[in-house]
Amino acid sequence: MQHIVRRKKARIERDPSRVITQPYIPGDLSRVNNIISRVLNLPDATAKKMLRQIRYNFSDRHRYLDELLLINFDKVAEYIPHPIDINITKKMLIGSYFTKEYSIESAALFNPSIILHPDQSNVPEGAARFAMSLRATGEGHISSIVFRSGIIGSDFSLTFDSVSEFVETPAMLHDPFYDNHLFCLTLQEMGAWNDTSERILSRLQPFFTYQDLKFSIHEVYKKDPDQSDDSAINAINWVANSNYKIKFNDKTQLSERVIYPVSENESKGIEDARFVQFTKDDGKTVYYATYTAYNGQHILPQLIKTKDFVTFNISTLNGNAIQNKGLALFPRKINGLYAMLSRQDGENNHIMFSDNLHFWHTSQIIQEPLYPWEFMQIGNCGSPIELEEGWLVLTHGVGPMRQYCISAVLLDLNDPTKIASRLQEPLLSPNEEEREGYVPNVLYTCGAMLFNGHLVIPYAMSDITTRVAMVELKSLLNMMEPSR
């Protein structure tokens, strides 16, 4: 099987120098006050000298360093004991004491997915620009989503765009509108629908803002605090903070953008985004991605929506069938329904259908472990790819010594609950240079794409770095055996 696979030489390596800033505020408020007082007592000349040195050391790592320092100053300004006129130098210097750097890729850069870039302008004839998402992991094993872009040439050469030395997190926006009906359905799914939640939501318009919601909660609680259920209010806040909008500066390069955990539900990581270009009923396209939010104890499947990779809408996925990792959305509706691959039981490949993108209630098994290299478990490796012959699905199988291999199945085009054919062997297995890493013996991908009759598969090697393989589609299909 390996003879039809062409591994490209280029690798996408982690770069510890790519850092973002985060607030760094001690839990002991007396320490916060002490630090602020010490800075305020510095002579102005000393403060200016210190700020010059900070700018010298860090301005080539953060494009808007001064603004970042002032943002973190604002986070502790309330602890200043009494009103005082503080000059801009000391504000930024105070901000620097409550700022730390976080290296988003210091541990690993892996589990990629790839799609055609929404901007195909100025691409050489016969070539295509791609966008790739990757899971970046840093200190504390906290994962985020980063991006790369590049060109696949007509000769199948692979060229990555230069990676900026800057990394930027987006602004979080709570002013998009929430859908009242979907909000209520989500609370009902959670078992959090009661008199309190009904009173809060009934005060709101069919579409409402975050501020509208906070005001309604305040009014209901103020009117009758003894009859207000705190657990329902907590659930409402949980739903609101799990559904949000982020926006990057549209002048940033794609490689500068990092989607870092912002809500409590994903505080320990955003894992394994599977991006897909989705064609809507009207023929227009949008990009979706499923990912797993992790808070250190529980996982929560989430959905990303974007048209331009600048603005992203984040929302929860709900229903009894939303139970595990590895959700992969089909690139269009099938027979009027959304379709998604999943792995509810951690062992088999499932499929599920829904008339609502955000709610999934039932699933069925379409593939069980059959061959020795997948006896432990199987799952999808990204969204299905539509062919004339059927839906091509890359899969992962786990075998002895917890070795992960990548294989493929072909689902019926009109009834994807049926497997038309499948590989009897792995398409990609870890070779000697790919089996060493953070998690040994693992090859994994979160999505491939078609280009000029070839399958382009970016894949992670032992959960630490990423490379790309290409497979001629005709040869792959010829090697697949009818399902038994």
Tally of CA atoms within 13 A in the half-sphere of 110 that contains its CB: 21
Residues paired with residue 125 on neighbouring β-strands, in sequence order: none
* Across 434-445, average pLDDT: 94
For the cut 70, the answer to whether the pLDDT of residue 343 exceeds it is yes
* Across 322-341, average pLDDT: 95
Gap between the Cα atoms of 294 and 234, Å rounded? 18
Give yes or no for a contact between 5 and 91, defined as CB atoms under 8 angstroms apart: no
Give yes or no for a contact between 453 and 473, defined as CB atoms under 8 angstroms apart: yes
Do residues 33 and 138 share a domain?
Answer: no
Q: List the domain range (segments joined by +) for residue 461.
A: 2-8+104-170+248-482
Share of the chain above pLDDT 70, in %: 99
pLDDT value for 173:
81
Out of 221, 242, 263, a domain closes at 242
Task: Please state the domain count of the chain.
Answer: 3
Residue type, 400: P
Gap between the Cα atoms of 405 and 436, Å rounded? 14
For the cut 90, the answer to whether the pLDDT of residue 121 exceeds it is yes
pLDDT value for 63:
92
For the cut 90, the answer to whether the pLDDT of residue 302 exceeds it is yes
Do residues 340 and 400 share a domain?
Answer: yes
Q: Take residue 316 and report the two structure tokens written for it.
A: 């929860």
What is the pLDDT confidence band of residue 430, given thresholds at 50, 70 and 90? very high
Give yes or no for a contact between 467 and 459, defined as CB atoms under 8 angstroms apart: yes
What is the pLDDT confidence band of residue 51, given thresholds at 50, 70 and 90? very high
Domain annotation covers residue 13: no
Do residues 478 and 352 share a domain?
Answer: yes
Q: Ramachandran region of residue 94, left (φ > 0), alpha (ψ -120 to 50) or beta?
A: alpha
Domain annotation covers residue 428: yes
Domain annotation covers residue 416: yes
Gap between the Cα atoms of 114 and 449, Å rounded? 6
Average of per-residue pLDDT values in the chain = 94
pLDDT tens per residue across span 198-256: 999 999 999 999 999 999 999 998 888 888 899 999 999 989 988 889 999 989 999 99
Domain annotation covers residue 151: yes
pLDDT value for 129:
98
What is the pLDDT confidence band of residue 298, given thresholds at 50, 70 and 90? confident
pLDDT tens per residue across span 367-392: 999 999 999 999 999 999 999 999 99
Q: What is the largest CA-CA distance in the chain?
A: 81
The SS3 assignment for 121 reads: coil
281-284 LR contacts (CB < 8 Å, sep 24+): 281/333
Out of 74, 100, 126, a domain closes at 100
Parallel, antiparallel, or unpaired for β 454-461 and 449-451? antiparallel
Gap between the Cα atoms of 177 and 208, Å rounded? 5
Do residues 28 and 90 share a domain?
Answer: yes
Q: What is the CA 462 to chain-centroid distance, rounded?
A: 20
Residue for token digits 């730390």?
100
Do residues 196 and 332 share a domain?
Answer: no
For the cut 70, the answer to whether the pLDDT of residue 2 exceeds it is no
Do residues 83 and 211 share a domain?
Answer: no
Q: What is the DSSP letter of 113?
A: E
Residue type, 384: P
Do residues 220 and 77 share a domain?
Answer: no
For the cut 90, the answer to whether the pLDDT of residue 421 exceeds it is yes
Of 410, 418, 365, 378, nearest to 392 by C-alpha is 410
Helices and strands (H, E) in the chain, number of each type: 9, 30
Do residues 321 and 438 share a domain?
Answer: yes
More confident residue, 82 or 417: 417
For the cut 90, the answer to whether the pLDDT of residue 432 exceeds it is yes
pLDDT value for 1:
61
Do residues 266 and 357 share a domain?
Answer: yes
For the cut 90, the answer to whether the pLDDT of residue 3 exceeds it is no
The enclosing H or E element of 150 equals: strand 143-152
The full length of the chain comes to: 484
* Across 435-449, average pLDDT: 95
For the cut 80, the answer to whether the pLDDT of residue 137 exceeds it is yes
HEC profile for 414-479? CCCCCEEEECCCCCECCCCCCCCCCCCCEEECCCCEEECCEEEEEEEECCCEEEEEEEEHHHHHHC
* Across 43-60, average pLDDT: 97
Do residues 291 and 397 share a domain?
Answer: yes
What is the pLDDT confidence band of residue 175, given thresholds at 50, 70 and 90? low
The CATH number of the domain holding residue 337 is 2.115.10.20
The enclosing H or E element of 280 equals: none
Gap between the Cα atoms of 309 and 311, Å rounded? 6
Share of the chain above pLDDT 90, in %: 84
Do residues 156 and 184 share a domain?
Answer: no
Out of 48, 70, 100, a domain closes at 100
Give yes or no for a contact between 395 and 406, defined as CB atoms under 8 angstroms apart: yes
* Across 404-433, average pLDDT: 97
Q: Take residue 448 and report the two structure tokens written for it.
A: 């491939």
Least confident of 41-55, 174-188, 239-253, 468-482: 174-188
